[in-house]
Structure 1
Amino acid sequence: MTGVVVTAWSALSPYGHGATVFADGVLAGVPAPLTSTKDEWVQADARVVPDFDIVEQLGRKGTSSMDRTSALAVATLGALRPEPDSRTGVVLGTTSGSARTQFEFTRDSLTRRKPYLVNPAQMPFALMNSAAAQCAIRHGLTGPNSTVAAGRTSGPTVFRYAARLLRAGRASGVFAGAVEEHSGARELLEPGGRLGEGCVLFFLQTAGAGNRPALAEVVASDTRFSDGEPRRALAASLRHVMAGIPVDEVWGLALSAATPELSETEDDATGEVLGQVGNVVRPGRLVGDTGAASGAFGLASLLAMADADPAARGRFAVATAVDRDGTAGVVVLRSVGTQQAGGER
């Protein structure tokens, strides 16, 4: 047991704004609607956060060059109504930051007149740690500030990192989660799948340390790598986190993969270690391939389902994440309360 609990969470997803609308979408099991998107890079149908205008959400100050990745993270954290102290931190997972901003900045450095007059205001947002930095600046978070670039396994990786900060006494609380934007640039980098976007953030604290009731205990988290063999990595990770946990006490399972290839990998590994689990959710089929945020959406799906089912209380739920390069991760939660307390949800 880690001694770390989730006390609040929120999400911006293709279903809409907030945890409640995401939970309703997951419980209904109906995929979020597709939106036709077009920019200078490509046109595509994707599952994007609806009605999200950066200036309308965050105001004009400091947003003229802000990328969608940073804006999604800042707005999601704002929905949690943070009340930070000097040791409240943020750990945010990403693939590489805003692919669109990086594409645009690189293009400008090659095409604009010498001496390569790029937009200097865009430079901070071309860095992968922009979203975490903007969260800290805009919400007064002066504790640890970290960006974890772990692709589709960012969810489990972020939970491990945040739990270590809390256990080591480096932070009093951590806003932990992941974000991924949709853009034509990302369509070029991730061809062949139905892309989505969004951000999920959880507030993690040491058990008993805060004044918010716990929603779930973080029982275990683990990440593994097996070169080009994500199935082997995921099976090993599952065996590690399930040591000492009876398989028949696993109430729910979130399989985050959105593509057939990675879905088969998750099915094979979880079937080998866990057997049949009664409540299975596949957020990738509901909100699309949300990249770095996919594992976080899996965790949020489990919290939403547990809130709606009294049988989940005191039992375990498992969220998995895999990526093509051979990385895999797992988080095990134990439901201990109702999601209506302690935050937006």
Structure 2
Amino acid sequence: MSIFVTGVGVALPGADSASALAAARHPLGAVDPAAVLGKKGLRYKDRATQLGLVAGQRVLTDAGMLSDGALTVDGTRVAVLVSSNLGNVDTACRVARTIADEGTRGLSPMDTPNASSNIIASEIAIRFGLHGPNLMVCNGPGSGLDALRWGTALLRSGRADQAVVIGVEPDNEIVRELVGGPVADGGAALVLERADAAEARGATVHAVMGGHTRGADVAAGFQRLAAGEPAGFTAWFASGTAAGRLPADLPGHDLAAVWGELSGALGIVQAAAAIGGFGAGADGPVCLVAGGDEDDGSAAQVLRPPSPAPAGTGAV
């Protein structure tokens, strides 16, 4: 069963689309959630949740699943998967500090719901009426690509027709203490869709999902996936030590060098940037790699450009 990417949403400083992301050389400004979503409903929500909502609205709109604020598909058949390793850690730390200093009576009833580890995914589902499977992935460097894998699995099992997969990380003082520097303060989102569902609604296909692998050896994972691509890869996306383990004769893209620490958002931002490249004329499969040879291992995902639609057919 083919799984298509039928929507792309980007919420990064200075980049609000896949094409802008592919062309970006450095961050500019900051994402203003109120300018995208309006102020209503944003009060008391942490930064990660607000950024996730921006990416969610943009990807649903791009996929043609949201029009004038209303869903155009069956919300009970739409899954939500969010990848964020740092997410609401500022809220969780603030709540823990308040309990230590003042006891539970010092907690604000407006703050405690945001301490839930699933808050970003649940708020996206509530705001947009997406009542399919709901999953938060916090799985280290490969988390974003793992979320794409789980979204694909949900679709292939028949649990959903579409899966909204979002990767987001906020930038704040507590997060910087944890990672030792600035964080991207944004993210990206994809809509994954079963081929039959996409064809039925005439969706535009941005990319086709290929193979996925997980393991401790970056180079070995790359080679396993390359063996399944007869024409080979045309480029790879990787950051940090992983980039040094991949073929130097292929164009490589290190998005962390542009945006700073992406953590759980990395794999999904890589996919969005690759799709921006497809839109600009790139015509071969790419390999996305997140993580390295460390104990957490790495994840790798193949993304292929869409095949041209046969004459006389719809957008798919």
TM-score (ref. length: structure 2): 0.86
User: In 1, distance between residues paired with 2:47 and 2:266?
Assistant: 17
| Cα offset, 1:287, TM superposition | 1.1
Q: 1:99 to 1:206 in 2, by over 3 A?
A: same
Aligned AA (1:50)? A
Q: SS in structure 1 opposite 2:303? A: strand
Q: Say which of 268, 276, 284 aligns to 2:249.
A: 276
Amino acid of the structure 1 residue aligned with 2:302: V
> What is the identity, as a one-letter code, of the residue corresponding to 2:99?
S
What's the counterpart of residue 148 of structure 1? 137
Q: Which amino acid aligns with 2:249?
A: Q
Post-superposition shift, 1:63?
2.8
Deviations 1:111-134 (A, max 9, x none): 23x553211221121122111000
2:176–2:182 Cα contact (<8 Å) kept: no
Partner SS state of residue 197, structure 2: coil
- Tell me if 1:209 matches 2:197: yes
**Is residue 326 of structure 1 aligned with residue 296 of structure 2?**
yes
2:105 is paired with a residue of what secondary structure? coil
SS of 1:250 mapped into structure 2: coil
Classify 1:287/1:208 alpha carbon distance in 2 versus 1 (closer, same or farther; 3 Å): same
How has the CA–CA distance of structure 1 residues 109 and 184 changed in structure 2, closer, same or farther, with 3 Å as cutoff? same
Per-residue Cα deviation, 1:264-299 (whole angstroms, up to 9, x for no partner): 33322x23xxx621x322111111111111121111
Determine which of 31, 40, 56 is the counterpart of 1:77: 56
CA distance 1:180–1:326, change in 2 (3 Å): same
Instruction: Report % sequence identity.
Output: 23
Among candidates 241, 244, 259, match of residue 267 of structure 1: 244
Unaligned residue ranges in structure 2 (runs of 5+): 309-313
Alignment coverage as a number of residue pairs: 295
The question of 1:200 aligning with 2:188 is answered yes
Cα pair 2:140 2:264 within 8 Å, conserved: yes
Give 2:266's match in structure 1, choosing from 290, 294, 298: 294
Q: What's the offset of the Cα at 1:138? A: 0.2
Distance 2:303 2:130 in 1: 26
CA distance in structure 1 between the aligned counterparts of 2:229 and 2:37, rounded to whole angstroms:
44
Q: Check conservation: 1:218, 1:333, Cα contact below 8 A.
A: yes
The answer for unaligned runs of 5 or more in structure 1 is 34-48, 227-231, 258-262
Shift in Å, 1:337: 5.6
- Superposition deviation, residue 237 in structure 1: 2.2
2:235 to 252, 261, 275: 252
- TM-score, length basis structure 1: 0.79
CA 1:141 to 1:189, structure 2 compared with 1: closer, same or farther past 3 Å? same
In structure 2, the CA distance between the partners of 1:303 and 1:51, relative to structure 1 (3 Å rule), is: closer
- Give the Å deviation of 1:8: 1.3
List per-residue Cα deviations over 1:151-179 (Å, max 9, x = no partner): 32122101110111010100010011311
* Aligned mates of 2:111, 2:130 — CA distance in 1: 23
Q: CA shift at 1:254, angstroms?
A: 1.0
Tell me how large the CA RMSD over aligned residues is: 2.2
| Contact preservation (8 Å) 2:19, 2:273 | no
3-state SS of paired residue (2:286): strand
